[in-house]
Amino acid sequence: MCQPIDWVLRVVNTIRAVLDAKNGVLTLLIVVLLGGFAGMAYLYNDAKSERQELRTLLVEFTKFQAVQTEVLRTIDSRLTNLENNK
């Protein structure tokens, strides 16, 4: 029953030791960033499994942004034309 608590205390003590070192915060930040990049790479390259929700979401979101950008460009050009015609 105390095993999970011991594991958490070991992790907390390790983080505390890293933060007390000379460049501890920088080291911890680098570890967190690399872990995040590795996690995103794993999720994005999950093409071998049947679940490709993240890749599909990114493709759909990119297409939506392209359409939205084109609409905003059209609105901007129309407003510019109206301002110039005054």
pLDDT at 68 over 90: yes
The b/e string for 24-44 (b: 16+ C-beta within 10 A; e otherwise) is eeeeeeeeeeeeeeeeeeeee
pLDDT of residue 58: 81
In this predicted model, what pLDDT tens digit does every residue of 34-47 receive, in sequence order? 898 888 888 777 66
pLDDT band at 66; cut points 50, 70, 90: very high
CA atoms of 57 and 47, how far apart (whole Å): 13
CA atoms of 75 and 83, how far apart (whole Å): 12
